[in-house]
């Protein structure tokens, strides 16, 4: 029979552990941890295609590899913001986190994680032609949300709106989250809408595998011809 003292001990054991309250406070300040995780899954997908992938930094070296704490511009050299580049069947691509794209309306939108055409990325980084990459340069794009509770529904509407301004050439897009919402499942179930990558977390390896598989499939299709 469990007593209230047993319960109290169990609570203390969880909260006072080295990975308890003190550690969570450290992670909370990181903010973009989940985006970095999804970026890492993209790297894994490319590596599973047995392609050579190179980590880069806008200042030159890839060390340290810096993730932006807020949406930024691809050409910003304030810090050594990192990205990755790879080539598949002659298609040169880059993977980025937290950069802004120019939508078809002219409004800029941040993609938490994206795969884009390297040619456009290079041009936008060139000091003679600094710019935000155009919507046509986006191959895959994801919104990444780490929530401790059920996802708010407005995230779905916002992302659908964002992707509609990115045009019809994006091959793969999705709202990624460790969480879920039954109504968002329905909302994203329509054929024309992005994927809902719900419960995308190391706690659900099948969902990770499915996410990686979708990226590999689209990259193979893109570069097949």
Residue ranges in contact with another protein by CB under 8 A: 1-4, 6-8, 10-15, 17-21, 23-34, 36-37, 39-41, 43-44, 55, 62-70, 72, 76, 78-79, 82, 146-150, 178-179, 182-183, 201-203
Nearer to another protein, 62 or 164 (CB): 62
Nearer to another protein, 2 or 190 (CB): 2
Residue 225 CB, nearest approach to another protein (Å): 29
Nearer to another protein, 155 or 163 (CB): 155
CA distance 63 to 195: 33
Nearest-Å Rg of the Cα atoms of the chain is: 19
Angle, nearest 10°, between helix axes 205-222 and 33-48? 60
Structure tokens at 183: 């109504």
Residue 87 CB, nearest approach to another protein (Å): 17
CA 135 to chain CA mean position, Å: 17
Strand 195-197: give its sheet, edge to edge.
Answer: 53-57, 82-88, 91-102, 108-117, 138-145, 172-177, 195-197
Strands 195-197 and 53-57: unpaired
Residue 81 CB, nearest approach to another protein (Å): 9
CA distance 4 to 156: 42
Residue 162 CB, nearest approach to another protein (Å): 20
Nearer to another protein, 82 or 141 (CB): 82
Nearer to another protein, 45 or 166 (CB): 45
Residue 117 CB, nearest approach to another protein (Å): 23
Nearer to another protein, 144 or 166 (CB): 144
CA distance 43 to 131: 25
Q: Which helix (H) or strand (E) holds 217?
A: helix 205-222
| 8 A C-beta contact, residue 118 and residue 93 | yes
Residue 88 CB, nearest approach to another protein (Å): 18
């Amino acid at each position: 029979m469990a007593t209230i003292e047993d319960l109290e001990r169990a609570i203390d054991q969880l909260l006072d552990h080295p990975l308890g309250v003190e550690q969570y406070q450290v992670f909370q300040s990181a903010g973009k941890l989940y985006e970095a995780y999804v970026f890492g899954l993209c790297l894994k997908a490319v590596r599973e295609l047995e392609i050579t992938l190179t980590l880069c930094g806008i200042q030159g070296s890839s060390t340290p590899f810096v993730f932006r704490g807020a949406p930024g511009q691809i050409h910003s050299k304030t810090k050594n913001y990192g990205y990755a580049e790879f080539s598949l069947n002659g298609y040169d691509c880059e993977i980025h986190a937290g950069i802004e794209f120019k939508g078809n309306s002219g409004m800029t939108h941040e993609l938490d994680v994206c795969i884009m055409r390297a040619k456009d990325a290079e041009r936008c980084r060139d000091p003679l032609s600094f710019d935000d990459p155009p919507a046509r340069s986006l191959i895959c794009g994801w919104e990444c949300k780490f929530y401790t509770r059920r996802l708010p529904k407005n995230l779905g509407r916002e992302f659908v709106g964002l992707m509609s301004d990115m045009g019809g050439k994006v091959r793969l897009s999705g709202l990624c989250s460790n969480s879920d919402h039954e109504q968002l499942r329905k909302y994203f179930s329509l054929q024309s809408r992005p994927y809902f990558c719900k419960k995308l977390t190391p706690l659900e390896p099948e969902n990770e595998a499915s996410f990686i598989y979708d990226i590999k499939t689209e990259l193979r299709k893109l570069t097949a011809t």
